[in-house]
């Protein structure tokens, strides 16, 4: 009987596992984003991974959506991070071992908002040391309040993350109380800057990164709105691309349409670009790998 890895290899379509449960609440629109981008998306309660009812290795990308996992009572994403790192599956194997194998096999992980918080607290991001130690955190916004607004973000021109491609300046909504990225020390901060891991930054109307409130809604180090690991295959961002899949999701879309200021198709919102980019990248990579094995 063909194992799941072999079955996934034969199927050229990109497969996304969108996690749910424990207070995660953006799984439906996230799955819709992957499907609109041409991928297969399956919403899976994390308990099904722990019980081995579903194998992580059937998928190309693991997505941790936004929400309020475990009510954020011990710091946003911390309990979820501990569960991912230390919880054992039904056969006694730590899920963490499966996550590391998933990464080693060249797969992708994407976390948004609460998912981003969990990724930094597991040590999966930015993982500069290679030892999966926690090197940064996402702390309470400098404003001291929950920020619910639209903001501009710009791709760091030095970033080679396959999630972002040729992305320039886009608008996305933020909705978080703990989105302020803080590096553990100056060495980590300098390495993030030097390696261009601060792949997305809050910016002004001219596309210049800024720490000015409210353009920067939380006061993050390096004006950071999105962080990648050193491979580029793991990405975490605070703004919500899954909330801007259609042009009409934008609160100012009637005026933008009248002024002809929307540079993309009338059907696509800025957030969909990120999902289209990573799905296309994974699909191309899978086709290339399959071709090389057949030659």
Closest listed residue to residue 136, CA positions, set 179, 188, 66: 188
Catalytic residue among 63, 176, 240, 281: 240
113 is catalytic: yes
**Other residues' Cβ atoms within 10 Å of the Cβ of residue 190:** 12
d(CA 15, CA 28): 15
Closest listed residue to residue 234, CA positions, set 82, 106, 65: 106
Beta strand pairing call for 180-183 and 136-139 = antiparallel
d(CA 119, CA 113): 10
d(CA 17, CA 20): 10
Catalytic residue among 20, 26, 27, 113: 113
Q: Please identify which residue in the block is written with the tokens 């981003």.
A: 116
Catalytic residue among 176, 242, 270, 281: 242
Residue 55 CB-half CA count within 13 A: 11
240 is catalytic: yes
287 is catalytic: no
Residues involved in catalysis: 113, 240, 242
């Amino acid at each position: 009987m063909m194992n799941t890895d072999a079955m996934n290899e034969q199927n050229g379509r990109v497969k996304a596992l969108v996690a749910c449960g424990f207070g995660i609440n953006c799984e439906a629109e996230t799955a819709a984003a992957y499907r609109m981008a041409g991928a297969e998306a399956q919403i899976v309660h994390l308990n099904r991974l722990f019980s081995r009812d579903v194998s992580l290795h059937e998928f190309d990308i693991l997505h941790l959506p936004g929400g309020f996992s475990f009510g954020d009572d011990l710091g946003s994403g911390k309990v979820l991070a501990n569960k991912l790192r230390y919880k054992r599956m039904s056969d006694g194997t730590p899920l963490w071992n499966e996550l590391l194998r998933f990464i080693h096999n060249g797969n992708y992980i994407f976390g948004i908002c609460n998912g981003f918080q969990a990724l930094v607290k597991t040590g999966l991001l930015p993982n500069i040391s290679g030892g999966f130690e926690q090197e940064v955190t996402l702390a309470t916004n400098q404003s001291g309040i929950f920020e619910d607004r639209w903001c501009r973000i710009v791709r760091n021109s030095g970033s080679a993350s396959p999630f972002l491609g040729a992305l320039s300046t886009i608008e996305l909504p933020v909705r978080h109380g703990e989105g302020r990225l803080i590096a553990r020390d100056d060495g980590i901060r300098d390495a993030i800057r030097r390696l261009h891991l601060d792949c997305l930054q809050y910016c002004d109307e001219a596309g210049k990164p800024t720490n000015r409130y409210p353009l920067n809604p939380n006061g993050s180090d390096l004006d950071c709105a999105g962080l990648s690991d050193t491979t580029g295959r793991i990405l975490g961002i605070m703004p919500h691309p899954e909330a801007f899949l259609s042009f009409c999701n934008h609160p100012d879309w009637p005026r933008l349409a009248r002024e002809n200021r929307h540079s993309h198709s009338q059907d696509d919102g800025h957030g969909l670009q990120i999902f289209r980019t990573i799905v296309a990248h994974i699909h191309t990579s899978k086709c290339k790998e399959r071709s090389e094995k057949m030659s």
